[in-house]
């Protein structure tokens, strides 16, 4: 699956978190996966031996990428393998589903398992990860509340309780120790859409105590690397 969209990101505090959450519950459709608190997401990010994707982001390069595995339940047998590509304000996400066993193989740097999948995403990931000598670098876990609107394929998400681990990459371990990277309700509001954004959503965002910023959970979660390795 390939998705091309525009994306806006806003860091927000607790007051704005509750404010926009109540607004979106009234005017948008809750994601079917939402529970009373939203739902959990766990992503394992990979980077090259030279941390090329990390430096592309922090250096503000207009064309960059990230590769990750993503799950919503540690007991799942299916794992998403995603390549996110950023081109100026536009975003392209390529996704394929692999088995739990093959995800574990990737964590152990065995990329040959991707050759078993007959799709362009798996082939592209194989080439990138092999040539760049990719390896897992950080596990990120957070809570998401999501809302949708069919017009212009609008999707609004509120991500909070963001935690990470830069040493243990067992993404299927429910009891893995995760360290918060921000306070619980210091959240990230993301707005993804095709074409133009509705003016009433723009007006709601204009009332927040924040501005659109180029945020990255991946880079923000590599705090040990940033503080002690760089």
Tell whether the model's pLDDT for residue 138 goes beyond 70.
yes
Q: Is 79 helix (H, G, I), strand (E, B) or coil?
A: strand
DSSP 75: T
Q: Among 71, 75, 84, 103, which residue's Cα sits nearest to residue 7?
A: 84
Residue 185: band (very low, low, confident or very high) from pLDDT cuts 50, 70, 90: low
Mind listing the domains of the chain with CATH numbers?
5-229 (3.20.100.30)
Residue 194: band (very low, low, confident or very high) from pLDDT cuts 50, 70, 90: confident
> pLDDT digit string (tens) for 3-26?
667 888 888 888 888 888 988 888
> pLDDT digit string (tens) for 70-90?
999 999 999 999 999 988 767
The pLDDT score that the predictor gives to residue 223 is 79
The pLDDT score that the predictor gives to residue 15 is 86
Q: What angle do CA 146, 152, 153 make, to 5 degrees?
A: 35
Residue 60's H or E segment, with its range, is none
Question: Measured between alpha carbons, how far is 93 from 45 in angstroms, rounded to an integer?
Answer: 14
Question: Measured between alpha carbons, how far is 139 from 133 in angstroms, rounded to an integer?
Answer: 18
Question: Measured between alpha carbons, how far is 229 from 69 in angstroms, rounded to an integer?
Answer: 24
């Amino acid at each position: 699956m390939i998705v091309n969209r525009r994306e806006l990101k806003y860091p927000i505090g607790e007051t704005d978190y509750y404010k926009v959450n109540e607004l979106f519950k009234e005017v948008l459709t809750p994601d079917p996966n939402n529970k009373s608190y939203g739902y959990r997401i766990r992503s394992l990010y990979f980077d090259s031996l030279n941390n090329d994707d990390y430096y592309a982001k922090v250096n503000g390069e207009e064309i960059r990428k990230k590769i990750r595995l993503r799950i919503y339940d540690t007991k799942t047998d299916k794992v998403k393998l995603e390549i996110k590509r950023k081109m100026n304000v536009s975003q392209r996400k390529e996704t394929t589903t692999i088995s739990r066993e093959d995800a574990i193989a990737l964590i152990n740097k065995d990329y040959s398992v991707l050759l078993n999948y007959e799709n362009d995403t798996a082939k592209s990931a194989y080439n990138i990860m092999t040539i760049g000598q990719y390896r897992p670098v950080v596990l990120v876990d957070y809570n998401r509340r999501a809302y949708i609107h069919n017009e212009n394929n609008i999707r609004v998400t509120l991500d909070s309780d963001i935690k990470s681990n830069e040493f243990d990459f067992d993404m299927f371990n429910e009891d893995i120790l995760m360290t918060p990277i921000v306070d619980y309700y210091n959240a990230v509001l993301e707005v993804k859409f095709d074409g133009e954004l509705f003016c009433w959503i723009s007006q709601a965002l204009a009332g927040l105590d924040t501005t659109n910023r180029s945020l990255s959970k991946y880079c923000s979660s590599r705090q040990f690397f940033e503080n002690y390795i760089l």
